[in-house]
Structures are given as structure tokens and as C-alpha cells.
Structure 1
Amino acid sequence: MRRIPPLAAVRVFEAAARHENFTAASVELGMTQAAVSYQIKLLEERLGVPLFRRDKKRVLLTDAGRRISPQVVRAFEALDSAFGSIRAEDEALLTISTSNTFANTWFAWRLGGFQMAHPAMAVRLLTSDALADFVSDDVDLAVRAGQGGWPGLVEELLLPIDFTPMCSPAFLARHGGMIAPEHMMSLPLVSPHDRWWSVWLSEAGIDVPQGPLRPGVRLDSQAHEGNAAIAGQGIAMLTPFFWRNDIAEGRLVRLFDQVSTRGFGYWLVYPEHRRNTPKIRRFRDWLVSEIARDRELDALPSKG
């Protein structure tokens, strides 16, 4: 069994011995000078020998202190090197968790821009609609859909989740080039079981019956629903932010100006204790800037 004195006191001794100055050690360690003196006294009492000699306003290492100081300094250098290799490995890989919808409709298209700006850092994207566990899943940060309220995490709202019906131009043409809200329940709908349909139709003034609107294709993410709509399989309830390129390039048509929301949004989340981790700060700044820029573009008037 190792008989090592309290490591907090040893750490203070190492800094004080290097500087041979309690004030300089206190500044380095972020402690008061009184706390440094207390830890040194604690260590001296534990060892039974003085390590410093107080000489007026100076402190000097005693013979015992000078004898052990180089070994203690080397030990801390070895510890710093050991943990430094882990820090370097951690800084070299950024692991992000997000939902299938966010990954496939927006994130994966832009993540290469962050990688190119930080070529020394590898980026790993994990896609799942289950909430990531920041401990067991070894995840640095996540983009989650929800209403917030995840204990122990920093939460930053990236964008609200709103929705409106969309279909392909070919589907619209097959149905006369115009579809009224009251006619949609008789047309093929993508994922008609989704609560979004009832919310949007009710806000459009349509009397919506209780229960599912009608049988239909059920898909497990908006990414799949949007692609089904592009393929002409029906009308899908989609978030305009994610599909604006498909709208601009003529693959999708927004049927109405009205958008609805259930109060959900996409949030950037990460552990509170990692708020100041350099790679997390860099990615957070990039992501917030990218989304803000795209939202500003959406707000510009379209050229007719």
C-alpha cells in the first residue's frame, strides 16, 4: 500500500518549490496565499520535517525540501504528459449525435464545411432518434428535437420546428394544379397518423375527426417523408427550413403560406462541465453561425 501524503498538499508543494514563492504558487493554482501556507503546513506535519524556511518575507526550501523537490516536479510532469496525451486524443475527435431528420435534411450537407475549416479534427456523426447518453455513448454534443429541459446540460435553441403541407409539382398537377385544405383528407397523405396533420388542419379551420385521418404510408422520420413527397407518393407535412433547396429547385411545392408549430425546436446540448472545451466552443460557434445565416436567407424576399 502506497503511503502518499494528500495529493492536494503535494500539488501545492510542487508549485511552491518551483517558484520558491508562496504568492506565485497561489496565483498559478488559483488559491489564496493563506490556503497555500495551510497545505504546506499540513504536508510538513504529515512528513514530520520542515520543507520551507520562512525568512522575513521570503520562503526558502530546506535541505529536505530541496532533496525531494526535483522528484516531485518530475512526477507531476509525468502526470501532465500522461493526461496531456488523452487531452490531445480528445481534441482530435469530435463526436456529434443528432436525429435522422436533422442529419439527412440539413446537417450532413454542411458538416464538411466545419471539417475543412478544422482539418486536424476528425468529426464523427451519430444518427439516432433516441437521446444520446453523454457518458456511455462517448458523445461530445448533440442536436436534439424537443422542448428543452434536459438536466445537467447546456441548452441553446437553434431553430423552432414548424410545419406546412408540401408535395411534388407532378402530384399537384395530377390534382388540378391547386389543392384546398378541405380536400387534403381525401388525397394520399404521407404519415397521416402524425399529430402534425390534425394541428395544421385545425388551425386552417378544418373540422378534423378524432383519431387517425385515414390509412396511409407511415414513415419514421421527416427525412423519409420529404423524399416520399418528392417521389410523388402524396402530401407530406414538412418543416420549410429543411426543404427550401428542394422548393427552390422545383422538387417540392409549398401548398400554403400557413405554418403551424407545437412548440418544439432543435436544440444544441452539451454537458455543463464541458462548456469551455475548445472543440465544443469551435463547433458551437460554427453551427450557430451556419443556422443563423440560412435563416436570414429564408427571411429575404423572394425574387419574382
Structure 2
Amino acid sequence: MARQIPPLSAVRVFEAAARHLNFTRAAEELAMTQAAVSYQIRMIEDRLGASLFVRSGRRVSLSPAGQRLAPQISAAFDLLDEAFAKVRESESGVLTISAAPGIAASWLGPRLARFQMKKPDIAIRLLATGDLADFSHDGVDVAIRIGRGEWPGLRAVEMFPADYTPMCSPAYVERMGPFDDPARLLDVLRLNSDDVWWRAWFTQLGVPIPDDLTQKSLHVDSQVIEGMAAIAGEGVAMLTPRFWPYELETGRLVQLFPHIGAGSSFWLVCPEHRYGSAKVKAFREWLLSEVAAS
């Protein structure tokens, strides 16, 4: 007996529209026009004899029928994604990791050779980027993110706190110091002074924040470059101590104050349906052992 379901292409459009509650965003995700999205939705509604969305101006919400259908359709696509992922996994021993340049270069990258030695059958592809991974389109298996572990549809495992504190070179201290009060940092060149970590650190220590906080600043695009600029004596950088142990131990960087700010963490994340993948499981277990040892 033939399956009594609408065309899969139309069902895929409904799933995207229900997830975004926005036809324009669904169209962008699927590389379609908004008119094409509306047409596919109407096709399903005509076959069901029921409206799936309630339209109010530019806003849409799920109708009672849409609310019943959406979670089941989403779960069905998750099963399809998992099935195809398992086939791809059996054909490919490549694990693709997405991580911000700071943790990729300063913490994860130097350790990956140990994982390769432990699991020589799994090749690693590391994408160092500040952009959030799109697991549906980027071919990424796992990612490392900063936050509180709350990303819908993703399984998150906490690694360690995303802590931060001001650092600079000894030469910069000699030239611009002494730094005996946190407020003194308002008077010197701060690297990426518009970073939320600067504002949070000053607030935690009760330092009044001026309106021109971002005036004395050198802007760079990653913590790696911030750290190198600080070592070169270009200013004070807000850095994660865990990423700069060698520089702190050898005196190339100086931690200016004992206070270390925190509030979020680094997390290993992946889609729910990939959590049990053999290569993801192997990497997760290895990564957590590295975290425990560091």
C-alpha cells in the first residue's frame, strides 16, 4: 500500500517553517522564495483539510493541527538525519570540530596529537572560527561554545569555566604602571575594550564604568591575537589564564590582579542524534580526560 503522506519536499518546508515560525527564515534556510514556502504549506493544508499556521500580519504561529504535527515531523527528520549520519560515519573516519580561535589555538590544538595517537583511525578536521556552527549545513560533528549550556536541539557537556583576567607584558607594567588599583586600567590601552568581559570584570570589582569605555582600545579578532599583542607590549588584554600557562610561568605575561571573572563556561556540544556516534563518543571521553588533567 502506498504511503498516504504529502511530498517529502513539502513536509521539509513545513518542518523548517514550524521551527522558525517565520516563512522568510524558512525560505532562507531552504534556498527558496517565500512564495514557494507558502505554496508548499498550502499544498499540505489542502491535503489535510486543516490549517497548519495562524497568520496575523507578518507573524505566524502554529494552529492546533500544526502544534500536533510539528514535533512528530521534527522527530521524523531527526531519525532520517541520524540514519544518514550513521551511513556517512561508516564511510568516513573524519571528525570535524568547530571552535573559537582562542581555545582552538591555545588549548585544543596543542593536545590533538594525543587524540590522534590514541585513535589513529579517526582523522581530525579543526575549524577555528568565531561563527556558531550550523550542524545542518557545515558538516560539523562537534563544537566548543561559550555559554550556559542551553542550546535547543543540542546536547552540551561542560568542560571548564570561561574565566578571564587582565594581563600584559612585564615591559608594559614597567612603562605604564604601577597597577595598584583596577581603576587604573581605565587610563591605559586595553585590547578589545568593547568585549563584554571588560565590562563584567570592572563591574565585579565595583569600578564605575565610564561612557567612553571603548575609547582607549586596540581591536583584534581573537584571543590569540590579543595575547600576542599583550606579549609584544601593545596594551592590556582580558585573557583566559588556562590558555596562557606557559606565558604566565615564564613571565612573558603578567596577571595584574588576583580577581578572575567568570559566569559562563566552555561546552562541548553536538546534535542530540549524534551524541552516541562512535567517533563523537571517543572524542568526548578523551576531551573530558584532558580537561580533568589540565
Residue equivalent to 1:291: 291
> Residue 281 of structure 2 corresponds to which residue in structure 1?
281
2:90 pairs with one of 88, 112, 135: 88
Alignment partner of 1:128 is 2:129: yes
| Rounded Cα–Cα distance in structure 1 between residues aligned with 2:90 and 2:161 | 36
Question: Any conservation in 2 of the 1:185–1:214 contact (CA below 8 Å)?
Answer: no
C-alpha distance in 1, partners of 2:192/2:242?
19
User: For residues 230-245 of structure 1, what are the structure 2 equivalents within 5 Å?
Assistant: 230-245=231-246
Q: Tell me the secondary structure at the aligned position of residue 202 of structure 2.
A: helix
TM-score of the superposition, structure 2-length normalised? 0.67
1:184 alignment counterpart: 185
Q: Which amino acid aligns with 1:126?
A: L
Note if 1:117 corresponds to 2:118.
yes
Alignment gaps of 5+ in structure 2? 4-84
Shift of 1:256: 0.9
Unaligned regions of 5+ residues in structure 1, if any? 6-82, 295-304
* Contact 2:186-2:213 at 8 Å conserved across structures: no
CA contact (8 A) 2:86 2:277 kept: no
The one-letter amino acid paired with 1:128 is T
Does the 8 Å contact 1:156/1:269 carry over to 2?
A: yes
| 1:267 is aligned to 2:283 | no
How much does 1:247 deviate?
0.3
RMSD between aligned residues: 2.4
Name the aligned partner's letter for residue 91 of structure 2.
E
Return the alpha-carbon distance in structure 2 between the equivalents of residues 285 and 158 of structure 1: 11
Q: Confirm or deny: 8 A CA contact 1:185 1:213 kept in the other structure.
A: no
Amino acid at match of 1:89: E
Q: Please state how far the C-alpha of 1:229 moved relative to its aligned partner.
A: 0.5
Instruction: Return closer, same or farther for 1:163/1:104 CA change in 2, 3 Å cut-off.
Output: same
1:10-63 deviation line (CA, Å, top 9, x unaligned):
xxxxxxxxxxxxxxxxxxxxxxxxxxxxxxxxxxxxxxxxxxxxxxxxxxxxxx
Look up the SS of the partner of 2:110 in the other structure: helix
Q: Supply the distance in 2 between the matched residues of 1:191 and 1:274 (Cα, whole angstroms).
A: 36
1:215 Cα deviation after fit: 3.0
Amino acid in the other structure paired with 1:279: K
Amino acid at match of 1:88: S
Whole-angstrom CA distance in 1 between matches of 2:165 and 2:156: 26
The 5-angstrom pairing of residues 18-57 of structure 1 reads none
Determine the structure 2 residue equivalent to 1:225. 226
1:199 corresponding residue in structure 2: 200
The 1-side partners of 2:179 and 2:189 are apart by 15
Shift of 1:206: 2.0
Q: 2: distance between equivalents of 1:125 and 1:181?
A: 37
Instruction: Work out the number of aligned pairs and report it.
Output: 214
Distance 2:280 2:153 in 1: 16
Please report how far the alpha carbon of residue 213 of structure 1 lies from its aligned counterpart in structure 2 after TM superposition.
4.2
Other structure's SS at 2:244 match: helix
Amino acid at match of 1:273: H
Secondary structure at the counterpart of residue 227 of structure 1: helix
Secondary structure of 1:119 counterpart: coil
- Secondary structure at the aligned position of 2:162 is classed as strand
Distance 1:161 1:84 in 2: 33
The structure that has the greater radius of gyration is 1
Counterpart residue number, 1:152: 153
Which moves more between the two structures, 282-291 or 235-244? 235-244
CA distance in 2, matches of 1:266, 1:126: 16
1:269 Cα offset (Å): 0.6
Matches of 1:260 and 1:199, distance apart in 2: 7
Percent pairwise identity: 42
Deviations 1:277-296 (A, max 9, x none): 111111000001101111xx
